[in-house]
Chain A
Amino acid sequence: MQATSTRFKQNAREALDDPQLQQALTKMKAGFVERRARARADLPEFDALRDQARDIKNHTIEHLDLYLERFEANVTANGGHVHWARNAAEARERIQEICRSVGARTVTKGKSMISEEIALNDALEEDGLEVVETDLGEYIIQLRREAPSHIIAPAIHVLKEQVADDFRLHHVQFDKARPLNEPRELISEARQVLRRKYLESDVGITGANFLIAETGTSVIVTNEGNGDLTQTLPKIHVVIASLEKVVPTLDDAAAILRVLARSATGQEFTAYTTFSTGPRREGDPDGPEAYHVILLDNGRSAMLGTEFQDMLRCIRCGACMNHCPVYGAVGGHAYGWVYPGPMGAVLTPSFIGVDQGGQLPNASTFCGRCESVCPMHIPLPKMMRHYRAREYEQGLAPPATRFGLDIWGFVATKPRLYRLATRLAVGLLGRLGRARGRLAKLPLADGWTRHRDLPAPEGRTFQDRWDAMGGAR
């Protein structure tokens, strides 16, 4: 998809002015946050399990080449095929080749963020294939020709009345007067429409939540069962996964699964967790006849050995965006590419460049909630700071920002000047705001005061108060 991340500010402004989006975001916030908190409270070992999950991924990433070798060998030993792709174009070509080789006409898909990352649907449609998303949320946004706005709830920005309108427009085979007011009615209709697609499909494409080196297995985690129908019914199953999805063993996958659903939807476990290993065996009455895994790099190996390596631990649960005040205010589309929220603020500049995604790390209040809820302890705010530094170093930050930072940098490196300047500023602001305790207007800060008041300082600087308390240095 064409990234619009450079327009973040404008996107965000439009999102704030969109009443339907704001209504949808209000519904979202309570759900995810409360359910995760409950799931965490129900498992006393939750925090210890997070530490363990982090350690498993760190070990795997430090031995990534060796585990990938073993994964590949075990896929092959079970009759499957592994294809390596350096970038999005290579991944699309491999999948197009597989579809052409069987004369495919219809492709069904389970939800996959990698597929969004490589813009797979457009490429397959150019080849004349009918491409059908089967995850209900993905199906809704496919009808609307939109991008997902959340990594686990792609249509979270859409209200049910809008879904009903889309279904009436596209499902012309049904009675126009049918009731579509309740989620139940919408879901039954989608089930009926998609059921036929599963049965007609030639190739089923899914992502993977894990790849298991020990057994050559790909794992998908779903609630609807759509991924399972996608990969069980067609003749060919294609898995598309990035390098860092590999874990060593079944036990390691189980250990991480314990924190995945709890962090994502607040469930203890999702309805379906499916482990697929190769094509159907002799005597099997169903299942695909061929099993392919596309292993995608697309920027991952370049993150290894850098200050962004920890990001490769990400298991795409979405907890960071569910708890992010910025995401909660503007939704996922404002971020302008595939991955929204705090994880997107790190992944977008990593995958498509600081010039394209460098604005996103600025979309943070640095409140730190993302890191505090991340099941893999990824230091997201620290990484966003790294990208802010890069944006500045590469001269991409706007002139006013650079000017401000230069002045601050000059003052902050001269302790006497800094003390004097802060004492003056804090004293003045303290006096101005004494009456109400906050300031409604302030020169040079209207970007802040236009939407909210600035809490007034109490009149003395931290350093002065520290000294007065006899604080040690």
Chain B
Amino acid sequence: MSGARDQIMGQVRRALGRAEGTDDARARDAVDARLKEPPRGLIPARVRGREAEELGRLFMEKALAANCTCATVDSLEAVPDAIAEYLASENLPATVRTGDHPDLAAIPFDRRPVLTVSRGPSDGGDAVSLSTAFVGAAETGTLALVSGPGTPTTLNFLPETEIVLLRRSRIVGPYEDIWTHLRARNAEAGSMPRAVNLITGPSRTGDIEQKIELGAHGPLRLHILILDDL
């Protein structure tokens, strides 16, 4: 196996004019510099230099265009009612599977006893999940969710209905700003999370005669609760 590696690398180096023993310090410096301080590319004008209010509006507009539904809550206390109302309006069971991320743990579900709440990853038997977003990118109404002890990845894909809590203070403009937050988090945690899921609307497929249908393998519905914390 190391034979394969050496042979492939040898051929790549020869083709690039960097045979064994040649001085490739300049190439190495270029690579080190790019990895150490990743240059920011061209940021689309729609998210360049925008105020928080504009970004919030754009996020919602783009999320709706991607077949999400959105609602706003002004505190964690208001979340149980908002969820109960949403589930009732969609004729869905009042049962929610969620994680124990601090924001999710702080929601006072006991004030709305009609909701049955359980915590942990999904085994495929849950109709509705509640997750919390790491950040949201207004550019395309995209949610970024990271895996971790309180945020199981299975909640994002197995239930037919996914509800995601997103703090307004965590709505950024371009994808590059997701990376800014992620790199800060990684510096603290010591490594990347196992999974970063960028989610833009519910699951869909166009594989049968190019007709777009929602709910292929992942959620059929994606409902975003924006927590107004600004």
A contact residues vs B (CB 8 Å cutoff): 24, 27-28, 31-32, 43-45, 48-49, 52, 56, 59, 62-70, 77-78, 83-86, 90, 94, 134-137, 140, 153-156, 159-160, 163, 183-184, 186-187, 191, 194-195, 198-199, 213-217, 223-226, 228-229, 232-233, 243, 248-252, 254-255, 257-258, 265, 268-281, 283-287, 295, 297, 301-302, 304-306
Tell me how far the C-beta of B68 lies from the nearest C-beta in chain A, rounded to whole angstroms: 10
Find out whether the CB atom of B198 lies under 8 angstroms from the CB atom of A273.
yes
Find out whether the CB atom of B209 lies under 8 angstroms from the CB atom of A254.
no
Nearest CB to that of A276 among chain B residues?
Answer: B195
Contact of A255 among B24, B42, B120 (CB under 8 A): B42
A286 CA to B195 CA, complexed, in Å: 10
Find out whether the CB atom of A214 lies under 8 angstroms from the CB atom of B216.
no
A77 CA to B191 CA, complexed, in Å: 9
Which stretch of B52-60, B76-84, B108-116, B148-156 is in the interface? B148-156
Evaluate whether A228 and B156 lie within 8 angstroms (CB atoms) in the complex, with A156-B210, A160-B209, A277-B193 already known: yes
Secondary structure of the B contact surface, majority rule? loop
Find out whether the CB atom of B12 lies under 8 angstroms from the CB atom of A45.
no
A254 CA to B9 CA, complexed, in Å: 27
Contact of A283 among B148, B206, B210, B216 (CB under 8 A): B148
| Residues in B32-76 with C-beta less than 8 Å from chain A | 34-35, 38-42, 44-45, 62, 66
Contact of B208 among A136, A233, A258 (CB under 8 A): A136
Chain B residues lying within 8 Å of A225, measured Cβ to Cβ, are 157, 203, 216-219
Find out whether the CB atom of A269 lies under 8 angstroms from the CB atom of B200.
yes
Those 8 A-B pairs whose CB atoms lie nearest each other, nearest first: A225-B218, A304-B15, A224-B216, A305-B15, A249-B38, A137-B207, A254-B175, A255-B41
Chain B residues lying within 8 Å of A216, measured Cβ to Cβ, are 192
Most buried by A among B17, B156, B157, B216: B216
Find out whether the CB atom of B217 lies under 8 angstroms from the CB atom of A232.
no
| Residues in B131-146 with C-beta less than 8 Å from chain A | 140, 142
Chain B residues lying within 8 Å of A269, measured Cβ to Cβ, are 66, 140, 142, 198, 200
Nearest CB to that of B175 among chain A residues?
Answer: A254
Evaluate whether A301 and B15 lie within 8 angstroms (CB atoms) in the complex, with A279-B194, A285-B149 already known: yes
Evaluate whether A136 and B44 lie within 8 angstroms (CB atoms) in the complex, with A274-B197, A304-B15 already known: no
Evaluate whether A63 and B8 lie within 8 angstroms (CB atoms) in the complex, with A155-B207, A224-B217, A274-B196 already known: no
Q: Is B173 an interface residue (CB 8 A)?
A: no
Tell me how far the C-beta of A140 lies from the nearest C-beta in chain B, rounded to whole angstroms: 7
Find out whether the CB atom of B179 lies under 8 angstroms from the CB atom of A134.
no
Evaluate whether A223 and B12 lie within 8 angstroms (CB atoms) in the complex, with A136-B216, A191-B215 already known: no
Chain A residues lying within 8 Å of B8, measured Cβ to Cβ, are 84, 86, 243, 295, 297, 301
| Residues in B1-37 with C-beta less than 8 Å from chain A | 1, 4-5, 7-9, 11-18, 24, 27-28, 30-31, 34-35
Evaluate whether A78 and B157 lie within 8 angstroms (CB atoms) in the complex, with A159-B209, A252-B38 already known: no
B contact residues vs A (CB 8 Å cutoff): 1, 4-5, 7-9, 11-18, 24, 27-28, 30-31, 34-35, 38-42, 44-45, 62, 66, 99, 120-121, 123-124, 140, 142, 147-149, 152-154, 156-158, 174-176, 178-179, 182, 191-211, 213, 215-219
A279 CA to B153 CA, complexed, in Å: 13
A159 CA to B209 CA, complexed, in Å: 6
Find out whether the CB atom of A140 lies under 8 angstroms from the CB atom of B207.
yes
Contact of A224 among B30, B201, B203 (CB under 8 A): B203
Tell me how far the C-beta of B20 lies from the nearest C-beta in chain A, rounded to whole angstroms: 11
Given A232-B153, A297-B8, 15 other A-B contacts at CB below 8 A? A49-B42, A65-B12, A69-B9, A70-B31, A84-B5, A191-B217, A199-B123, A224-B204, A251-B39, A255-B41, A258-B44, A275-B197, A280-B194, A286-B147, A287-B147
Find out whether the CB atom of B182 lies under 8 angstroms from the CB atom of A250.
yes
Find out whether the CB atom of A286 lies under 8 angstroms from the CB atom of B153.
yes
Tell me how far the C-beta of B197 lies from the nearest C-beta in chain A, rounded to whole angstroms: 5
A-B pairs with beta carbons under 8 Å apart, 19 shown: A65-B9, A84-B8, A86-B4, A136-B208, A153-B206, A160-B208, A183-B209, A223-B204, A228-B153, A228-B197, A248-B34, A254-B174, A257-B175, A258-B175, A275-B196, A281-B147, A281-B191, A301-B15, A306-B15
Chain B residues lying within 8 Å of A52, measured Cβ to Cβ, are 41-42
A287 CA to B194 CA, complexed, in Å: 8
Find out whether the CB atom of B205 lies under 8 angstroms from the CB atom of A187.
yes
Find out whether the CB atom of B158 lies under 8 angstroms from the CB atom of A229.
yes
Find out whether the CB atom of A285 lies under 8 angstroms from the CB atom of B120.
yes
Find out whether the CB atom of A229 lies under 8 angstroms from the CB atom of B218.
yes
Evaluate whether A281 and B216 lie within 8 angstroms (CB atoms) in the complex, with A31-B210, A228-B157, A301-B8 already known: no
Nearest CB to that of B208 among chain A residues?
Answer: A183
Tell me how far the C-beta of A59 lies from the nearest C-beta in chain B, rounded to whole angstroms: 8
Tell me how far the C-beta of A251 lies from the nearest C-beta in chain B, rounded to whole angstroms: 4
Tell me how far the C-beta of B137 lies from the nearest C-beta in chain A, rounded to whole angstroms: 9
Find out whether the CB atom of A265 lies under 8 angstroms from the CB atom of B157.
no
Find out whether the CB atom of B41 lies under 8 angstroms from the CB atom of A254.
yes
Evaluate whether A184 and B213 lie within 8 angstroms (CB atoms) in the complex, with A45-B45, A277-B192, A287-B147 already known: yes
Tell me how far the C-beta of B132 lies from the nearest C-beta in chain A, rounded to whole angstroms: 14
A289 CA to B61 CA, complexed, in Å: 38
Find out whether the CB atom of A271 lies under 8 angstroms from the CB atom of B199.
yes
Find out whether the CB atom of B194 lies under 8 angstroms from the CB atom of A250.
no
Find out whether the CB atom of B28 lies under 8 angstroms from the CB atom of A268.
no
Tell me how far the C-beta of B205 lies from the nearest C-beta in chain A, rounded to whole angstroms: 5
Contact of A268 among B140, B154, B158, B219 (CB under 8 A): B140
Evaluate whether A271 and B45 lie within 8 angstroms (CB atoms) in the complex, with A183-B211, A248-B34, A276-B195 already known: no
Chain A residues lying within 8 Å of B199, measured Cβ to Cβ, are 271-272
A338 CA to B224 CA, complexed, in Å: 40
Find out whether the CB atom of B16 lies under 8 angstroms from the CB atom of A64.
yes
A69 CA to B99 CA, complexed, in Å: 37
Find out whether the CB atom of A63 lies under 8 angstroms from the CB atom of B31.
yes
Tell me how far the C-beta of B155 lies from the nearest C-beta in chain A, rounded to whole angstroms: 9
